[in-house]
Amino acid sequence: MYMKGSLSVFSIIFLIIGLVIGVSIGYIMHSEKPENTIMGVISYSKTILMPSPLTGVKENVTITTFKNSTNTWYQYIYYSYGNCYLPMWTTVNYYPFNLPNISSNTPNWTVYAFTQNHESVISISFPAVSWSFPQINALPLNAPFPAYQILGNRTAPVILTQLVGDAVGVSYYDGIVYVPSDSNVLYAINAYTGKIVWEATTANSVMSNPIIVKTSKGPIVYVSVGDAGFSASHGIFAVITHNLKNVIRGYSYGAIYAFNATDGQLLWVHFDDGNDMPTPAYINGLLIYGDGSGHIVALNATTGKVVWKDYVGVSAFDSMSSTNYYKFSNGTTIAIIGFTMAEPPYGELVAVNVNNGQIVWKFILPKGYTPFNTGMGDVSPAVDERNGIVVQSTIVNFNPTNRTIGFAVFALNATNGQLLWIEQLGRGYVPPAFKGGVPTIYNGIVYVGSPVTNTIYAINESNGKILWKSVIPNVQGPPNGAGGGRANPVYIKGYIIEPAGAYVDVYNASNGALVKSYYIGGRFGIVNAVIVGNTVFLDNSYSWTFAIPLNDLI
Beta strands in 202-303 (DSSP E): 205-206, 211-213, 220-226, 254-260, 266-272, 281-283, 286-290, 295-300
Share of the chain above pLDDT 70, in %: 94
435: Cα within 13 Å, side-chain hemisphere: 30
Residue 35 predicted with pLDDT over 80 = no
Report how far residue 273's alpha carbon sits from residue 373's, in angstroms, rounded to the nearest whole number. 21
Q: What is the 3-state secondary structure (H, E, C) of 103-133?
A: CCCCCCECCCCCCCCCCCEECCCCCCCCEEE
Residue 9 — pLDDT band, cuts 50, 70, 90?
Answer: very low
Q: Are strands 121-122 and 530-532 parallel, antiparallel or unpaired?
A: parallel
Q: For the residues 314-336, what does the mean pLDDT come to?
A: 95
Residue 376 predicted with pLDDT over 50 = yes
CB atoms within 10 A of CB 149: 9
Q: What is the pLDDT of residues 486-544, one digit of tens each?
A: 999 999 999 999 999 999 999 999 999 999 999 999 999 999 999 999 999 999 999 99
- Planar angle of CA 432, 434, 466, nearest 5 degrees: 105
Residue 31 — pLDDT band, cuts 50, 70, 90?
Answer: low
Residue 380 predicted with pLDDT over 80 = yes
Evaluate whether 461 touches 411 at the Cβ level (below 8 Å): yes
pLDDT at position 23 is 35
Q: What is the pLDDT of residues 432-468, one digit of tens each?
A: 989 899 999 999 999 999 999 999 999 999 999 999 9
pLDDT at position 40 is 87
Evaluate whether 109 touches 99 at the Cβ level (below 8 Å): no
309-312 — which CB contacts under 8 Å span 24+ positions? Answer: 309/357, 310/352, 310/357, 310/358, 310/359, 312/339, 312/348, 312/350
pLDDT at position 24 is 42
Report how far residue 48's alpha carbon sits from residue 305's, in angstroms, rounded to the nearest whole number. 24
CB atoms within 10 A of CB 19: 10
pLDDT at position 2 is 35
Share of the chain above pLDDT 90, in %: 84
Alpha helices in 121-197 (DSSP H): 148-163
Question: pTM for this one?
Answer: 0.92
DSSP letter at 393? E
Evaluate whether 425 touches 476 at the Cβ level (below 8 Å): no
Residue 184 predicted with pLDDT over 70 = yes
Report how far residue 321's alpha carbon sits from residue 486's, in angstroms, rounded to the nearest whole number. 12
Report how far residue 296's alpha carbon sits from residue 318's, in angstroms, rounded to the nearest whole number. 9
The reply to whether omega before 479 is within 30° of 0 (cis) is yes
Evaluate whether 170 touches 530 at the Cβ level (below 8 Å): yes
The number of angstroms, rounded, from the C-alpha of 222 to the middle of its chain's C-alpha atoms is: 10
Q: For the residues 120-146, what does the mean pLDDT come to?
A: 96
DSSP letter at 502? E
Evaluate whether 498 touches 483 at the Cβ level (below 8 Å): no
